[in-house]
Amino acid sequence: MTARTSWKRRPGTLESDPVMQRRTVFSLLGLTGLALCTLLSAGCSAGVPVNGTVVENGAPVPLKDGETLSVALVQESGDNRVFAATADKDGSFRVAERVPPGKYRVTVAQMGDVGEWMKNKDKHVPGAPKPGPKGPGGPAGGGPPERFKGEFSGTKSPLTVEIGSKPATLTVDVGKKNVAVQ
C-alpha cells in the first residue's frame, strides 16, 4: 500500500501558512473569551445602584462619636437576599452591591458606642434598668442600646420600597415611617 498523496498544499491557504493558522486560533480564542465575558457580566450586573439618606422627620439622624447607623434592604420575594450599608455621620449611605429590581423591606438600626458601653457595662446607675441578658435595649448577649429598640428590624419594620430598573436614591424617614424613592 502506498500513502495517499492526492492532496497538495495550496499557497495562501490556512493549511499551508503557519501564521494564518496562529491568527485563526487566536481570533477564535478571543471571540470565545469575549462571548464568555459578556455572558458572565450580564448575570453579575443585574441590578441597579442604590444610595440614600436616613432622616427623622426630615432632619438628619444625629450620630455621636462611636455610634453606627446600619441600613439593609431585604428582598421580599425570591431568595430573601440582604443588601446592607453603613451610613455616614450625615445619614447618607450607599449599598455596595447592585440591587435587583423588586420589593424590599428596609431595616434600620442605630447602635450606641460599643467602647463606651464596654467601659460602663458593669457600673449601675441608680434608676437605670440593670443590664440583663440583652442589655438595656441592646442585642442578645448584651451590647450597647439600639436607639429604635428593634422597631425597624427584620419583618417588624414598617418600611418598604420598590426598586425599579433605574438607579435609586432613597430617603428613609424613621420619624414618618416611610421611604421615598427619587
Say whether both 58 and 107 belong to one domain: yes
- Residue 39: its pLDDT value, please? 41
For residue 130, tell me if it sits in a domain. Answer: no
For residue 125, tell me if it sits in a domain. Answer: no
Say whether both 85 and 30 belong to one domain: no
Rounded Cα distance, 26 and 111, in Å:
56
Say whether both 100 and 37 belong to one domain: no
How many structural domains are present in the chain?
A: 2
Say whether both 36 and 89 belong to one domain: no
- Residue 146: its pLDDT value, please? 84
For residue 136, tell me if it sits in a domain. Answer: no
Tell me which range, 51-55, 117-121, 150-154, is most confidently predicted by mean pLDDT: 51-55
pTM over 0.85: no
Range of the domain at 35: 14-44
pLDDT-based confidence at 23, cuts 50/70/90?
low
- Residue 46: its pLDDT value, please? 86
Task: Read off the DSSP letter of residue 76.
Answer: S
Name the more confident of 115 and 13. 115
Is 80 exceeded by the pLDDT of residue 15?
Answer: no
Say whether both 74 and 93 belong to one domain: yes
Kindly report, residue by residue over 45-62, the tens digit of the pLDDT.
589 999 999 999 999 998
Say whether both 108 and 170 belong to one domain: yes
Say whether both 35 and 97 belong to one domain: no
Kindly report, residue by residue over 24-42, the tens digit of the pLDDT.
554 544 444 444 444 444 4
Say whether both 58 and 98 belong to one domain: yes
For residue 169, tell me if it sits in a domain. Answer: yes
Rounded Cα distance, 71 and 174, in Å:
11
Q: How many helices (H) and strands (E) does the chain have?
A: 2, 9
User: Any idea which residue has 447607623 for its cell?
Assistant: 69
